[in-house]
Amino acid sequence: MSNTADPRLEEPTRPGTSAKYLGGRPYYQYLISFVIAGVFLYACYSALAAILLPNTVQTIEFQHYFSGTTVTTLDQLTELTNLANDVNAGTVTATSEQAHLLDLLKQYEAARASSISNMMIVGSFFTLFAQPIVGVLSDRWRSRWGRRAFWIVAGAVAGAAFMIGLRYSTTILMLTVFWTTAQVSLNFMQGPLSTTVADRVPAEKTGTVSGLSGIGMMAGFTGGSVVAGILMNSMGLDAYFVFAIAVVVGALIFVTFAKDRSSKDLELREFDWIAFFKGFFVPLFDHDFRWVWIARFMMFFGYTAVSNYNLYIIQSHLRPAHTAAEANTIVATLSAAALPVQLLMLAFAGKLSDKVKRRKPFVIGASLVIALDMLVPLLVPTLPMYFFFYILLAAAYGMYMAVDVALFIDVLPDPNAAGRDLGVANVASNIGQMLAPFVAGKLVAHTGGYSAIFITAVIAVAISAAAIIPVRKVK
């Protein structure tokens, strides 16, 4: 039977582009494959950023600062951190040897934070234009497998190879190089994968799919942290292999079970490099797109400023201090505890947004809750309150992510350039993720603590909420 007669599909008006799923088996098969690929992709991001890289960095910096001293293991830093808290509180006076070790601890804390921030800013800088570039290239890609499949698989395979490189890195420079190349490669997978929503899903279903996409993202982030925390304590850096394999499997599942139409008949205009680079800025001239872009940038800036230092915050900001192994376990437990409410909000918010035909109240409300929630660990830095903070953050961020993607699709200036424009939308995320660790690292180095990070996050996320108000096209 010809596909043109299939009532489950809406045929494209432009040759070489994708049919849209109206329902039935093709729609649900796409949804399942899309969510699985997203789970595995975001699990890699989470495992690397939350657990594996911070542990690797602090091991390298620990050897640099404490080699030849009486502090021979990372676990001993917990006692030293508690001593520093007592000295700062005026309840204990340090001996000369202890004072020397406390000075080394201060240098180590600053170096650890700076190394992570420098790695993240370099990686994010090189990924700034990765998604817009791959978006444009995939918009124009002619293949029997459609426009996006090649880039999804190639990005996953390259990302996996560079993750294995991270496993064998022994210096901060090596980590930075392999993290940057891995991040760029995974962005080459992420961009085309996200664009398939605009390609294949009709407007009335984008909120639902956006919510499911958010579920996949949050499940991946949570699962990545949980699994990485467990694996780091049991198999060490060999955990990199597990996530390298997972991202390739996710990509192969998607292109196998959510096959696209051939794009060999795609009509292409002559390629103009000047127009290509100018095109990055075209959507930002659109009023609504620009405000939603600013909102996403500020949200990711505020969220990343805290989340990138989660492991170190647990070790050094909470009272009492915790060992590296304890922090790995706590991160895994936090993620597992937050997952149910996160998934509930993701599933609920996307569908409700479609039903009431509103996007702005969900995004603004979630942003304001996150801003207020960031005050909790600032004012009460204890582990029980950190659990409260983390679970509420997961719920609000779940609502935000469920609707934010749908909001961006609703304000796209040019549906025929969805790959490019959604790539530009993701640049907002990348810039926020690039600048946040840099600013946060400097704040830790200059203040000697993590309180300033939470204050900065509160301000950034509040601005994110305000930026949605001027949007006109969407209610």
pLDDT tens for 360-384 read 999 999 999 999 999 999 999 999 9
Which residues fall within 8 angstroms of residue 260, CB to CB, at 6 or more apart? 18, 145, 146, 147, 148, 149, 196, 199, 200
Structure tokens at 453: 């990070």
Treating both helix axes as pointing N-terminal to C-terminal, what angle do 324-356 and 360-373 enclose, rounded to 10 degrees?
Answer: 160
The pLDDT tens digits of the residues spanning 51-106 come to: 999 999 998 999 999 999 999 888 889 999 899 988 988 888 889 999 999 999 99
Spatial distance between the Cα atoms of 402 and 273, rounded to a whole number of angstroms = 35
Task: Report, in angstroms and rounded to the nearest whole number, the Rg of the chain calculated over CA atoms.
Answer: 23
Q: Is residue 265 part of a domain?
A: no
For residue 353, the domain's CATH number is: 1.20.1250.20
Q: Confidence band (pLDDT; 50, 70, 90) for 430?
A: confident
State the pTM of this model. Answer: 0.78
Q: Is residue 445 part of a domain?
A: yes
For residue 284, the 8-state DSSP code is G
Tokens 């609502």 appear where? 399
Number of domains the chain is built from: 1
Per-residue model confidence (pLDDT) at position 271: 67
Q: Confidence band (pLDDT; 50, 70, 90) for 419?
A: low
Q: Confidence band (pLDDT; 50, 70, 90) for 280?
A: low
Which residues fall within 8 angstroms of residue 416, CB to CB, at 6 or more apart? 14
Residue 390 has pLDDT above 60, yes or no: yes
By residue range, what is the domain housing residue 344?
A: 20-260+271-468
Residue 117 half-sphere exposure, CB side, CA atoms within 13 Å? 23
Q: Is residue 377 part of a domain?
A: yes
Q: Is residue 401 part of a domain?
A: yes
| Bridge partner residues of 20 (DSSP) | 10
Q: Is residue 15 part of a domain?
A: no
Q: Confidence band (pLDDT; 50, 70, 90) for 181?
A: very high
Q: Confidence band (pLDDT; 50, 70, 90) for 448?
A: confident
Residue 119 has pLDDT above 70, yes or no: yes
More confident residue, 3 or 207: 207
Percent of the chain residues past pLDDT 70, beyond the cut: 98
More confident residue, 113 or 12: 113
Q: Is residue 52 part of a domain?
A: yes
Mean pLDDT of 260-275: 75
Tokens 């925390």 appear where? 229
Per-residue model confidence (pLDDT) at position 2: 45
